[in-house]
Amino acid sequence: KNEVEQSPQNLTAQEGEFITINCSYSVGISALHWLQQHPGGGIVSLFMLSSGKKKHGRLIATINIQEKHSSLHITASHPRDSAVYICAVRSNTGNQFYFGTGTSLTVIP
C-alpha cells in the first residue's frame, strides 16, 4: 500500500516547456513537502505547504486538501532542473513521513 502516489514516474521535456508533476496521498496530513534530489547529490527541500499555493522563482506548488492532491509546476524549464522530484507528507496522527517514489525529470537543451 502506497500512501503517496506520484505521476508521472519519468518525464522528459524540452527546454522552455511547462512541467507538471502530480502527487496524491491517502492519509491525513499536517503538511506536504516537495523535495529535489540531483543525481549523486543530496536532497533539497523545495516547498512545504499545508494549504493553497506557494511560488519560488520558476517553481510553483499547489495543494488541494479536500482532494488530497498536490502539484509541482516548473515554468520555462531548464536542463539544470533535471533531477528527481519527491513528494512527501507528514501524517497528522504522529511523526511519520510518507514518501512518493519520485518523478525523474530530464530537460533536454
Kindly tell me which of 13 and 97 has the beta carbon lying closer to another protein: 97
Residue 86 interacting with another protein (CB under 8 A): yes
The verdict on 23 binding another protein (CB under 8 A) reads no
Q: Is 63 in the site for another protein (CB under 8 A)?
A: no
16: closest CA among 77, 72, 81, 107?
A: 77
Nearest Cα neighbor of 49 from 65, 27, 67 is 65
Which of 75, 96, 106, 108 forms a contact with another protein (CB under 8 A)? 96
Supply the minimum distance, in Å, between the C-beta of residue 44 and another protein.
Answer: 7
Whole-number Å distance between alpha carbons of 83 and 102: 10
Residue with cell 501524517: 91
45 binds another protein (CB under 8 A): yes
Among 59, 102, 105, 107, binds another protein (CB under 8 A): 102
By CB under 8 A, residue 93 contacts another protein:
no
> Sign of the CA dihedral 7, 10, 12, 16?
positive
C-alpha cell at 93: 496522527
DSSP 5: E
Residues that bind another protein in the complex, under the rule CB under 8 A: 30-31, 33, 35, 41-45, 48, 50, 86, 88, 90, 94-102
